[in-house]
Chain A
Amino acid sequence: MLSSLCLVLLNALVISVAAGSDYHEQLLLRPLPQNTLLASFNFRSNESAAAFEQQNFRYFPRSFGQILQHAHAKELHLRFNVGRWDAENWGQRPRNGAREGGTGVELWAWVEADTEDEAFARWLTLTNALSGLFCASLNFIDATKTIRPVMTFAPEGQHANSSNLHLLHGTLPHEVVCTENLTPFLKLLPCKGKAGISSLLDGHKLFDASFQTMAIDVRPICGQGDASCFLEMEQTVDMVLDIARSKRPRDNPIPRPLPIDQLECDTSKLYNAHDTCYPLNKGTDPAWTLEEVFGKPLRGACPLTEQSGDEVNTVCINTPPERTVEVRTTGQFAESKLASDTVRCYKLPTGAHFDLVLPEQKMSTGLVRPDPQIFAARSINGHGQERGSTQSIIRNPSTTEAVEIVYLESLPWFMKPYLHTLRARVDTTYESPIKETYYRPAVDRKRGTHLELRMVIPPSSTLTLTYDFEKAILRYTEYPPDANRGFDVAPAVIRILSPQSGDNRGVYVRTTSLLLPLPTPDFSMPYNVIILTSTVMALGFGNIFNLLVRRFVGIDEAPALGAGGLKGMLLSKITRLRGLLGKA
């Protein structure tokens, strides 16, 4: 429990307001069950509003700042996400999920503009500029992928001195996040990944993690009372590393079977023999060092960070006190213990490598992991490419207090939900959990569906939310090259309103994205289809108008040649042929 408390404390500490323009970075390591390690990087730089206005950037990256100014974005949140957070085993999400996004790329921003249209125009400039900056296809966030959430997101900064802000939100669930997005991310840091904890961030390991999310958050912060506002930019990376996997050397990443002699067997089994081995799982925490796990050494502190004050502790590790942690460095470092020794923090040496070494160890005490407030899973029911139904199952594990949530769905236009089939059932009570609904239906090829529900889940009960939808069939030019894979549907965003968390960043949970296979036409057929359809039409038309415009005469009055009957037909054909040959 203490540890979780200390976490909250740490978070508070991380976001605690520091005045003026400064830069601060911190890495929090946290061993998780199943031999995994959670590494939370946090880089924060401030720039006073005045300096920002005068384009006088110190720590704040110029390229990024100018984009913000150009697009009049007052507050911005950008997320790159890969993998899934396993709430059952790993517990509460890092930073309460407030610094993570749905699979792929997610972007939302408060744009200052007089009209909706102007806001949208600026939003487009913003997305285009960012897509260039981060090598992500953010420019594909068009009208059909943009929504304007009403309940799910609240501004984190203080926007006292800016009027009529517009919140716009867009996702790209199919976007594959990879190194080309990490490099620009690091470029924004003052130390550019050359020194400080950012020197640990290596594409190979980062994208081999079981879960990783990169976040950029920009928000204005004003001191109490006085008008001394400044702009805070926070960059965070949260990753869950499978220790065994990431300890593999880069030159030989293949998980070959262990040599037989290295395989630990459960000798208690009767059948245990030289050729028969039941793998023994020793309940020990594995050995690891920073360098092993991240594949790169930690090259000392970033010189630009504050060298004094309460934020000098750059690397923290959150383990039970009994876990032995050795420091290996040539430089000058300082260790301090917080939260009854469950958190050990280190002030990094400058200019010297720094490494933490944890030997393999059998643990008697474990850490108390804060449990998530809700568990959420979403899936598609039914099969076939015509219609289906979406089912979200949200569980409130707390036995004491009810949870109030906002559930946000942003669906592509070709997935047409039927709101009259929306059913929300709670297994413990009969009353509808839905308190408030916001629905904006999709318009073909113009905008997507936007659904927001405010719901209350009673203690220790499960909410099942289902609705039917129909799949539209598209024009053949509108399908992606891999048409038969289907389309991705953005994850649902769930915000927990109450019980409220400590900070003003909110508590978020996101489901996984869905795969939506659409009915596909035959892409090789345009000419055939045009020809065949036209033929049928021509037959109908020709036949009818042929009848309408001609007049009947008796068979005998008609010119003798080619009179009715098969014979006549053949005769006429032959003679016509003759005529042709004669000419030729």
Chain B
Amino acid sequence: MALISSILALRRDKRILKIPPYLSALCVIVGIAWLLVLPLNEYSRGTYVSENALLPGQVHTYFTGSEHNVFRAYRHEVHGLIDKPVAERSQRLETIFREQNLKVATQHYNYTVSNRTIANENVYAILQGPRADATEAIVLIAAWKNMADEVNNSGVALVLTLARYFKRWSLWSKDIIFLIPGDSTSGSQAWVDAYHDGHDQRYVESLNIKSGALQGAVAVDYPAGPWGQRYDKLHVVYDGVNGQLPNLDLFNTAVQIASGQMGIGSVIQRMWHHDNSYKDRLQTMLRGMISQGLGHATGPHSSFIPYHVDAVTLQTVGDGWHDEMSLGKTVESLFRSLNNLLEHLHQSFFFYLLLQSNRFVSIGTYLPSAMLIAINFSIAAMALWVKSGRRTEPIANPASTQPKSKPASSADKEDKGDTKPTHDIKHAKEKAPAPQQPATELLEIDGALAIVPVASTTVTERALLIPALLVISAHALGLVPLYLFNNWDADHLPGLFITTANIITLFPIAVAFLFNYTSPHILTLQALTLIQCFSLLLLGMFLAALATLNFSLSVLIGVACVPLSFVRRSTNMGINAVQLGMLALLNPCMVVQIGTKLLGGNLAEILVTAAQGWHIWGLWTQVVVWLVWFPAWIACSVVVASGIFD
């Protein structure tokens, strides 16, 4: 107690106030440096399988010999279906499954996203394990078209052959579901939604036959044509929607079986040639982080992961000497391992960054970097708060650093002195509309309100209501682009984007001007400080919470927002201009544009994918961008911009 109080006493010291900027700068630097040291041997670990039941590669695989002939035949069959209409294709695949005495069903889905229709059919067959009691199932997927939109010819054929081969075994303790989605992302999403009855019947057909709880899923992507093509390596894709990852054990099992048992090298994150150098490790990690941060579906497996079904995609790459049978054996061995599982995969890590196929960093090691970056905003917010109350503050109790004494205290301030009736009315009225926004926002809005009384420790002359409301409205404003980008016509999305980019860039200046022109008394110096303070506080809080859900996204946005905690409204026109220019470069739209350029993506495609993600995969990235990043940016830019007009 006494110790704390004496530390509190320290706060009276004027010098303390000079520290925060350096402190938050330090946080940022350490946070980023932290990321950079992760690839070193000291901070990363070699992967290992912790679930004993898996026993990867311990079984002999028999998928050879005449199965190869059958596979070739099926490959021809599949090839023959390539330019057939969907219905005929499904029907033919169904018959092949039926010939193998499996239970077969199809599922039609028909999404309409930003005036584009995504309609196709999933075919799936269930192999009822002779000893299984229909409580558990594992899924083998081969999407008809892979992510590159090539027909997954050999992949589908392999699944058909394996279905025929697996049917002969009597050792399956779980049902095996063979799924052939119409496409790589929406198809499997529709299927897995319907399987858990989380689907919207208007777009997705319900499943006729089901099995038990899904324990794992493996997708094969092998687009080789009817004459086959020998491959060099397996590319293991593991990112799920919203940056959720499968249990590391599944990934390890796949890698270990491929390399240890079959002698197939495996690569991740498109690092075709990984020489285990620091540079390559770092590059792999960063690619992983970007892909996780975007949170998009990276393969047929991605949609399974949000439902707590661990899944990976095995993709063949390069020219080598491995043939389809070795891939088939890998899958066989992998399924034998999954078949051994007594429990749902839970032993190993769910949060990790992979540096290469056999090296990873666990959450405990990397989380601090994101947290440090998030904290820097909180520190800046505190500093701003103290600054805002500096002048009027009675020296006696400096403990009054309270963002949360927002509206009420001010409210009551006024009607304490003079019983001007308007005040509380205004107070109430202005609260009323607030909660109409989504819960996330509502919370933090009233969050400010709620904690009020508890927190406000002292009589300060801070006028908190206006800044609070302005910050809230900034967040509310984020809903507009969120809605537009998700529902706009696909063909006009790029146009919309450009327009938004321009509007956003000019918006702060316009706002600042308007306020300055109409009612200069609102945006006082203190009010501006408070606005920045509140928005930074919220930003820090959101990023901290986000870091636990999607680490990479939190880091990426955190880094992009770093300047926000350093920009200040200055009376010097030049400095203001410089700051504004920098902010303009860092506004969400601009960052997205530059990012796409750097990653060699196509903006239009990305926008459409984002809309698709929002409607079909339940992607949350846009929400974070428009309701966390964008408002913070706006608020701080307005603060800076207001400097121009006096």
Bound together, the chains give a CA A397 to CA B308 distance in angstroms of 36
- Contact A244 B168, beta carbon cutoff 8 Å: yes
What is the distance, in angstroms, from A260's C-beta to the closest C-beta of chain B? 5
Partner of B3, one of A279, A382, A566: A566
Bound together, the chains give a CA A75 to CA B315 distance in angstroms of 60
- Contact A569 B69, beta carbon cutoff 8 Å: no
Binds A, one of B255-263, B341-349, B516-524: B341-349
Q: Does B77 contact A (CB under 8 A)?
A: yes
Partner of B213, one of A208, A262, A272, A515: A515
- Contact A566 B130, beta carbon cutoff 8 Å: no
As a 0/1 sequence over residues 89 to 106 of chain A, the CB contacts with chain B under 8 angstroms (1 = contact) are: 000000000000001100
Q: Which residues of A contact B164 (CB under 8 A)?
A: 279
Q: Does A435 contact B (CB under 8 A)?
A: no
Q: Does A297 contact B (CB under 8 A)?
A: no
Partner of B6, one of A35, A513, A564: A564
Q: Which residues of B contact A569 (CB under 8 A)?
A: 2-3, 6
Q: Does B363 contact A (CB under 8 A)?
A: no
Q: Does A565 contact B (CB under 8 A)?
A: yes
Interface residues on A, range: 35 or more
Q: Does B89 contact A (CB under 8 A)?
A: no
Q: Does A485 contact B (CB under 8 A)?
A: yes
Interface residues on B, range: 35 or more
What is the distance, in angstroms, from A515's C-beta to the closest C-beta of chain B? 4
Bound together, the chains give a CA A532 to CA B170 distance in angstroms of 50
- Contact B101 A275, beta carbon cutoff 8 Å: no
Q: Which residues of A contact B30 (CB under 8 A)?
A: none
Q: Does B62 contact A (CB under 8 A)?
A: yes
Q: Does A391 contact B (CB under 8 A)?
A: yes
What is the distance, in angstroms, from A544's C-beta to the closest C-beta of chain B? 12
Q: Does A258 contact B (CB under 8 A)?
A: yes
Q: Which residues of A contact B72 (CB under 8 A)?
A: 271, 275-277
Residue on A nearest B79 in the bound complex, by CB: A271
A485/B62 contact (C-beta < 8 A), A245-B170, A512-B135, A569-B2 known: no
Q: Which residues of B contact A254 (CB under 8 A)?
A: 62
Q: Does B419 contact A (CB under 8 A)?
A: no
As a 0/1 sequence over residues 486 to 529 of chain A, the CB contacts with chain B under 8 angstroms (1 = contact) are: 10100000000000000000000000111101000000000000
Q: Does A427 contact B (CB under 8 A)?
A: no
Restricting to B1-56, which residues have a CB under 8 Å from any CB of A?
Answer: 2-3, 5-7, 9-10
Q: Which of B9, B69, B133, B136 has the most CB of A within 10 A?
A: B133
Q: Does A484 contact B (CB under 8 A)?
A: yes
- Contact B6 A210, beta carbon cutoff 8 Å: no
Residue on A nearest B77 in the bound complex, by CB: A278
Q: Does B307 contact A (CB under 8 A)?
A: yes
Q: Which residues of A contact B70 (CB under 8 A)?
A: 263, 277-279
Q: Does B196 contact A (CB under 8 A)?
A: yes
- Contact A257 B65, beta carbon cutoff 8 Å: yes
- Contact A565 B197, beta carbon cutoff 8 Å: no
A391/B130 contact (C-beta < 8 A), A271-B76, A383-B307, A566-B10 known: no
Partner of A263, one of B64, B69, B131: B69
Partner of B65, one of A259, A265, A379, A562: A259
Q: Does B210 contact A (CB under 8 A)?
A: yes
Binds B, one of A78-86, A120-128, A155-163, A412-420: A78-86
- Contact A515 B66, beta carbon cutoff 8 Å: no
As a 0/1 sequence over residues 67 to 91 of chain B, the CB contacts with chain A under 8 angstroms (1 = contact) are: 1111011101100000000000000
A276/B131 contact (C-beta < 8 A), A257-B165, A382-B197, A569-B3 known: no
- Contact A566 B66, beta carbon cutoff 8 Å: no
29 A–B contact pairs at CB < 8 A? Answer: A34-B101, A35-B101, A104-B133, A242-B130, A245-B130, A254-B62, A255-B169, A256-B62, A257-B62, A257-B65, A257-B165, A259-B66, A260-B69, A271-B72, A272-B73, A275-B69, A276-B72, A279-B73, A383-B198, A389-B197, A485-B342, A488-B133, A513-B134, A513-B135, A514-B135, A515-B136, A562-B2, A564-B9, A565-B9
Interchain residue pairs A-B with the least CB separation, the first 10: A381-B197, A255-B168, A515-B135, A484-B343, A512-B134, A277-B69, A278-B73, A257-B65, A276-B72, A271-B76
